[in-house]
Structure 1
């Protein structure tokens, strides 16, 4: 991956619906170059799909947070299985270091969020958690 590929991905992060002609113009390259690079990134798995991002108020989940989780012993896999089925768990990540799992949580209200926290903290095998509510999101 070179600088042109990274710039192309940056433009797609802003708007994945930009036409190839517009991408080529912004990158100052031929349309075929953009098409070939997109095809290559799609075939090698760099680009795995295109999606829609909703405004925070649109998706109904007004409270978002990151929860870091330390598990007892080697129970991380069991905990991940239990968390995968929870409707308020948006994403899960295994990590190294002090925390074993990072979970992104979403809820409609603070009261619902409180219930989610209590439910997750009671899962057998979770030693400790730390949660931070996400206040603002900035594009990377």
Structure 2
């Protein structure tokens, strides 16, 4: 990715519905250049999809959290495979330091959150976990 690709991706992150002509005007390139770059970024997997953002009050009851996971021995692969079976687990990151994995959780409510924590903690190979609920997102 070059500088133009990075600026294009930043504009799409801000509003993925921006028309190619408006993106071209902002970037000071042709509409065809913008469309070709978007197509290329999609084909290479740099852009994996487009999404929407809702007002926070629309999903106010949803609970999002970060679960830090310590894995026993060399069981990280098996733990990640088990976590893939949980629709409540959005992403899993490998890390260094105290925690081996960090899982991003997204559930409907606190009772589902509690149930998910209980089930994830029973995965064979998990030594310990520490979970923090995400309270607010700060725009950077």
Structure 2 counterpart SS, 1:49: coil
- Post-superposition shift, 1:60? 7.7
Count matched residues: 140
Computed over aligned residues only, the root mean square deviation of the Cα atoms, in angstroms, reads: 2.1
Structure 1 counterpart SS, 2:50: coil
Q: Is 1:94–1:102's contact at 8 Å kept on the other side of the alignment? A: yes
Corresponding position: 1:131 with 2:126? no
Structure 2 counterpart SS, 1:116: helix
- Under a length normalisation based on structure 2, what TM-score does the superposition of the two structures give? 0.85
Alpha carbons of structure 1 residues 85 and 59: separation in structure 2 relative to 1, 3 Å = farther
Aligned to 2:86: 86
Structure 2 counterpart SS, 1:46: coil
Distance 1:39 1:87 in 2: 30
Distance 2:12 2:47 in 1: 10
Distance 1:44 1:139 in 2: 28
CA-to-aligned-CA distance 1:69-106 (integer Å, 9 cap, x gap): 01100111111122111232222222233221111112
Aligned to 1:2: 2
CA-to-aligned-CA distance 1:6-30 (integer Å, 9 cap, x gap): 1110110111121110101122222
Corresponding position: 1:95 with 2:95? yes
Distance 1:43 1:4 in 2: 17
